[in-house]
Structure 1
Amino acid sequence: MKLANTAHTTRAWRIHEVAGDFDLEDVWALETPGGPDDFAELVKQFSSGDFPDGAPLIVRALWSLRWKLGALLRLDGRDSGLDSRVGSLRDRLPEGLRDTPTGPDEDWLPFTPLYLLDDEFAAEMANRTMHGVLHLAWIEDEPGRYRGQMAVLVKPNGRFGRAYMGFIKPFRYLFVYPALLRMVEREWKSR
């Protein structure tokens, strides 16, 4: 379920210290009920999940089209990503986050994990259109009952990046996010 931006902005997440100059693009509640110690399982599920391969055909087609266009327009080359076009947010991590685990060990392309805490995880990616952050959090809904929350933060790369983000927004809302959220819920229930 889509949430108001305040579901992310009113909490004292550490990501605010690191990516305060990024735009908050989306905030979503994840149907992942659990206890106080289940957050690491959610992060592991995200990093090893079957997305987009297990998504509906339309999402797989959109994903494939995006990567093909990316190759054609050279959006995703090594010269357009982290530490080439933009520096990694790891360079901005405050002292208390520098020595924390970064998160999943799996090869999680296109994301690079930044940090993992008991209730917060962040990973970044960059290409010619934007520098983005996937932020996962573990929210206590009521005493002892928790659920996941996903936020997407972006820093578009100029006018082209802003136009690109505006162009893909309807596809994200109509196809990509609903499929991703259903998959997260299904995988969470089957664990």
Structure 2
Amino acid sequence: MKLADTAHTTRSWRIHEIAGDFALEDVWALDTPGGPDDFDKLVKQFSSGNFPDGAPLPVRALWALRWKLGGLLGLDERSSGLDARVGSLRDRLPDDLRGTPTGPDEDWLPFTPLYRLDDEFAAEMANRTMHGVLHIAWVEDGQGGYRGQMAVLVKPNGVFGRAYMGFIKPFRYTIIYPALMRMIAREWKTRG
């Protein structure tokens, strides 16, 4: 379920110190009910999940089209990514976050993990259109349990980046995110 921005902005997440100049694009409640110690399970699920391969055909088709167009337009070339077009947010990490684990052993591509705490994880990616952060958190659900929360923060790359983000927004909200939320919930229930 999509949440108000305040579900992210009013919490004292460490990401605010690091990516304060990024715009909050989305905040979602994840259907991942659990206990106080289940956050590692959520982080592992994100890194080893079956998205987009296990998503419905329209999502897989959009995803494939995006990567095909990205290849043709050079959106994802190494020269437009982290430590090339933009510096990594790793350079902004306070000393106490530099030594934290960054995630499980699974591959996070296209994201690069930044840090992981007991209730917060952040990873970044950059391409020709934007520099983005995936923020996953573990929050109390108000009913004695916990659940995941996902936020996406972005810094568009100029006019082209802002136009691109505006263009893909309807696809994200009507096709990508609903399928992703259902998949996250389904995988969470399957993994027990």
Q: Which residue of 1 aligns with 2:184?
A: 184
Structure 1 moving runs of 4+ over 2 Å: none
The residue type equivalent to 1:20 in the other structure is: G
**How many Å apart are 1:142 and its aligned residue?**
3.1
SS in 2 for 1:4: coil
Q: Which residue of 1 aligns with 2:162?
A: 162
74-83 or 139-148, larger mean C-alpha shift: 139-148
**How many Å apart are 1:143 and its aligned residue?**
6.3
| Aligned length in residues | 191
Alignment partners' CA distance in 2, 1:143 and 1:12 = 21
- TM-score with structure 2 length normalisation? 0.98
**How many Å apart are 1:90 and its aligned residue?**
0.4
The residue type equivalent to 1:182 in the other structure is: R
Q: Which runs of 5+ in 1 are unaligned?
A: none
SS in 2 for 1:142: coil
SS in 1 for 2:108: coil
8 Å Cα contact 1:30-1:147 kept in structure 2:
yes
Alignment partners' CA distance in 2, 1:79 and 1:173 = 29
SS in 1 for 2:160: helix
Alignment partners' CA distance in 2, 1:81 and 1:6 = 30
Percent identity over the alignment is 83
Alignment partners' CA distance in 2, 1:141 and 1:184 = 17
Q: Which runs of 5+ in 2 are unaligned?
A: none
1:28-57: CA deviation from partner (whole Å, max 9, x where unpaired):
000000000000000000000000000000
- TM-score with structure 1 length normalisation? 0.99
8 Å Cα contact 1:36-1:144 kept in structure 2:
no
Q: Which residue of 1 aligns with 2:13?
A: 13
CA RMSD across the alignment: 0.7
SS in 2 for 1:7: helix
